[in-house]
Structure 1
Amino acid sequence: MNAVISAHGTAVRSIVEERAPRPPVIGRIRPGIKVLTSAARKNEAAVKLYDTLLAAGESFERIGEEIERRCRIRNALAPRNVPYFTCRRSDFTNPDVADEILRLYGEDRGEGVKLYRFPVVFAFNDWMANIPNEMATWGTNGRKFFSEYGPDGTRFCRLYAKPERDPHAQRAQRNFGPRQIILRNDEAIPDGVCNPERCPQYQARQCNLSARFIFAVPEIKGLGLMELPTNSIYVLQKAYSAMQTVALARGRLTGTRFWISKREFEITRINEVGEAVRQSQLLTVLDADIDISALLDGADDHPPALAVAGGAAMLLEGAGSPVPNNVHALRPAADDGVSPDGQDAMAAGDSDHDGDPMPGEPESLDDKLERMSDLLKRLGLSVEARQRDFRRFAYVKYGNGWTKRVEDVDGMNARLVAALEDRAPLEREIEAAVRDAVFQ
């Protein structure tokens, strides 16, 4: 009999170790709120109940359930995106944690103390562990369909298998361990491949991108992490770029204090008649208090910053790996608002394969640096063994402070794009820069 191997590659010693470990979550910060629908606002009892439960710190799920039970109004709440995050006592295993977060990081901008911006620290050097994401259809009992990637990068649609019935008893057979996951195979998805264009759930807006940030908040005590859900592809792409930029500069994600806030962006969505429409949308953004340009400049010019990154655990495991398919393969659906959980709206918008901005839209220096980070990842230059070589090459080619000069950043991006087609010349230039540095 073959031994059972744990997720860490060692033989298990307990039934608990047979399952992949999951970080404990002790609370949820939400990116939006829910308000009464226009129909529900006509019911005075519903309005009074909503105000009372909201002031008591109850969750929006609980408020909706109570309004339905007492006032006989179904779907009384509608999601609304706001400039702040919702941090409620009912969303934490220890309700006092919500009060402490608001005390430390809340601001009063005229509407009472709200959470507009707060620091986070990620627990993992793998960005996917910090922001797990999938395409998913949710029902009353949890996930109905959800996406998973195969070894070749194909995105499949999966579901939980129905328990087999015990032929000697009038009940389902008891299952040992996690529920069995199988490939979807029906008339809509006969080959099991996740294809939103022909998926009835996606076209009916029942299936959507489902993602969540998992993090710790500095100075907040508790044996576990917190989460912030989102269903916006824009939020996911921007957070991915921010993490890859930090990983490129420091060699790791852990130990960096990021900040989560909201910012208004002009985004493009496809309306009901198939036309591209521009609109303003508040999106969750990730930022970090580090000097990226100082870290990307010459390898020997900034020893304090580089010393911090010296012995770090690496974010990236293998060289030359492409940008994960679950970022570029997901195409957002047209959506006018926020998700039922009060998450950020997911709007349609396209960018070309190299991450260029939309035609006619100016690209900032930050955008150019984010695009550079993406290109370096795809060229295998963001792993630890290559980062110092690239910094040396860039320093030799453009000099100190080059990441602050738009023309130099444009020149480097053009060089990296060319290397996607023919990598050999770039590799020779990097080797020459490193060789010259050794003999100087």
Structure 2
Amino acid sequence: MVNAVVTVQGGSLALHTLLGQGPARIPTGGKIRPGIMVLTRRAADLPGAKDIYTVGVAAGHSFEQIERALLEANPHCKTPLVPRNVPWFTVRAGDFSNPEIAAQILDAYGEDRGHGRRLYRFPVVFPSDHWQTVMPHELAAWGAHEKRFWSQYSADGRVRHCMRHAPVPVDDTGRRTIRIFGGRKAVQREANGGICDPEACPEYQAKQCNLTGRFLFFIPGIRSISALELPTSSFYAMSNAVQRFQAIAQMRGGRISGFLGPGRASFFLTKVQRDVPHIDEHGRAVRVPQWIIELEAPVDVTALLRDQEDDETAIRQAMLATQILEGADALCDAEVAQPGADAGAAPRASDPDEPTMDRCVAKATAMGIDPKRFQDYAARRWGSGWSEQLRCRRSAWDELARYGNDPGGYRDKIDAELHLDA
């Protein structure tokens, strides 16, 4: 199983190594399917195909394993399986590095609605506050064994490029390939000037290039150090999920990771039947019923807002206590400096490593955050006098360090916080 990776919320910056400097990562250890695969009509007529399929399903094999067995028995049948949309998720032992996890999920959250014990709805906890991290997606065209082309945005997020693998380099003789360190390189595709433009893309128009994505999450009560994934190719499922992520983030100060409240409330993934519009081959707009993945957040919204108010109150009370304590410290310093004390003692030198306002702003700017927006956010979070209080500057510095490997998530957090004042 190929492991996907996600950025862990709150992780520290990685050290420089031969493998580069990057965010903390965890592998995925299993896949929950959005539906099932069934035999095509042609494959069903082939000798032994039904038996291979039935035995594989009963044994809990993944659909890839079943398809490989079918191809070995009937090499001339190129596509023996096709997807079928159903109202439940498929959980099969063969899709997990630890097969026991499949049984744990079904035991904990499975239901029998007349088709045996199936997974219709289950809770999820996301490991990052950046929705693009927990729901990665792209336009991609696949060949028989690998991804041929895929979309990728430029560093500033303004241009969507069409990427491909670079040719394997050869030595001066032209007969021997050069060993590549770190894997094959990616380059922009020459066609269309390296721009991803679906309307002008022959692969997209031929339905060879499609939108693909996946949700990355943990399931409460399922003991696994690895995240799980749920793939999807539904534009509607992903766009609706983005709206849910953004709504919850606005009410939680930019956070979508972890539980959503003190009662261990969480997001849920389920499937709902909706009439999905699309354009048929004759250019007509038609609607077809489909079971669509839906991200739910069945939480008390007022409780989320109260939690944020409580956080703000606690921060302001802590700031007031800090001001009082620092005022007392200043008074003690003044008394020490009075005649009769050790007036000849040298004043305490300031620590050069202590975070100043300028250092905090510079660190935020290096993360791609507008300096003024950061100062507006800091004033809202730690008070208008945050730059004058050492403890507030330390809090700001620590928060910048926590989000050092997830600057996009921190920008989302700042935008959500400032949006509440708009």
Q: TM-score, normalised by structure 1?
A: 0.66
Distance in 1 separating the partners of 2:294 and 2:28: 21
Q: Which residue in 1 is equivalent to 2:36? A: 33
Describe the shift of the 1:30–1:23 C-alpha distance in structure 2 as closer, same or farther (beyond 3 A).
Answer: same
Match of 1:307 among 295, 306, 310: 310
Map Cα deviations across residues 74-125 of structure 1 (whole Å, 9 max, x no partner).
3111110100001100010000011100100011111111110011000000
Structure with bigger gyration radius = 2
1:226 corresponds in structure 2 to 228
Work out whether residues 64 and 77 of structure 1, in 8 Å CA contact, stay in contact via their aligned partners in 2: yes
Instruction: Find out whether 1:88 has 2:92 as its counterpart.
Output: yes
**Contact 2:12 2:24 (8 Å CA) reproduced:** no
Counterpart contact for 1:45–1:71, Cα < 8 Å: no
Q: Highest relative contact order (Cα 8 Å, sep 6+), 1 or 2?
A: 2
Counterpart residue number, 1:254: 257
* 1:161 corresponds to 2:166: yes
Cα deviation for residue 135 of structure 1 reads: 0.7
Match of 2:339 in 1: none
Matching residue of 1:288 = 297
Whether the aligned pair in 1 keeps the contact of 2:14 and 2:23 (CA below 8 Å) is no
Post-superposition CA distance 1:210-247 (Å, at most 9, x none): 11100011111122101111111101100000000100
Quote how far apart the aligned CAs of 1:310 are. 8.1
**Displacement after TM superposition at 1:168 (Å):** 4.6
Residue 125 (structure 2) aligns with: 121
| Higher alpha-carbon deviation: 157-166 or 72-81 | 72-81
SS of corresponding position for 1:222 = coil
Partner residue, 1:173: 178
Change (3 A) 1:78 1:291: same
Unaligned stretches of 5+ in structure 1? Answer: 1-6, 297-301, 322-378, 391-440
Cα distance in structure 2, aligned partners of 1:77 and 1:309: 55
* 2:48 is equivalent to residue 45 of structure 1: yes
Aligned residue for 2:194, secondary structure, equals coil
Q: In structure 2, do the counterparts of structure 1 residues 65 and 380 end up closer, same or farther at CA, with 3 Å as the change threshold? A: closer
* Residue equivalent to 1:208: 210
SS in 1 for 2:128: coil
Cα offset for 1:20? 5.5
Shift of the 51–129 alpha-carbon distance from structure 1 to 2, 3 Å rule, reads same
**Residue 38 (structure 1) shift:** 1.4
Number of the residue aligned with 2:328: none
Q: Which residue of 2 aligns with 1:422?
A: none
2:25 aligned with 1:16: no
Cα offset, 1:176, TM superposition: 1.4
Identity percentage of aligned residues: 38
Secondary structure at 2:238's aligned position in 1? helix
Following TM superposition, by how much is the alpha carbon of 1:381 offset from its aligned partner in structure 2, in angstroms? Answer: 8.9
The normalised TM-score by structure 2 is 0.69
Say whether the 8 Å CA contact 1:318–1:383 is kept in structure 2.
no
Unaligned runs of 5+ in 2: 1-7, 261-265, 316-366, 374-411
Q: Describe the SS at the equivalent of 2:60.
A: coil
Q: Is the 8 A contact 1:201 1:207 kept in 2?
A: yes
Q: Map Cα deviations across residues 15-55 of structure 1 (whole Å, 9 max, x no partner).
A: 23445654310000010110011122223511111101110
SS in 2 for 1:171: coil
1:56 maps to 2:59:
yes
Are residues 1:133 and 2:142 paired?
no
Measured at CA, do residues 310 and 101 of structure 1 come closer, stay the same or move farther in structure 2, by a change above 3 Å?
farther
Higher mean alpha-carbon deviation, 72-81 vs 240-249, is at 72-81
User: Taking structure 1 as reference, are residues 39 and 308 closer, same or farther at Cα in structure 2, changes over 3 Å only?
Assistant: farther
Say whether the 8 Å CA contact 1:158–1:181 is kept in structure 2.
yes
Name the residue aligned to 1:358. none
1:340-359 to 2 correspondence within 5 Å? none
State whether residues 164 and 187 of structure 2, in contact with CA within 8 Å, keep that contact through their aligned partners in structure 1.
Answer: yes
**Cα distance in structure 2, aligned partners of 1:158 and 1:310:** 49
**Shift of residue 175, structure 1, vs aligned partner:** 1.0
Q: Bigger CA drift: 87-96 or 36-45?
A: 36-45
Q: 1:195 is matched with which residue?
A: 197
Partner Cα separation in structure 2 for residue 241 and residue 224 of structure 1: 26
Q: What secondary structure sits across from 1:290 in the alignment?
A: coil
Q: Paired residue for 1:272?
A: 281
Instruction: From the superposition, tell whether residues 308 and 236 of structure 1 become closer, same or farther in structure 2 (CA, over 3 Å).
Output: farther
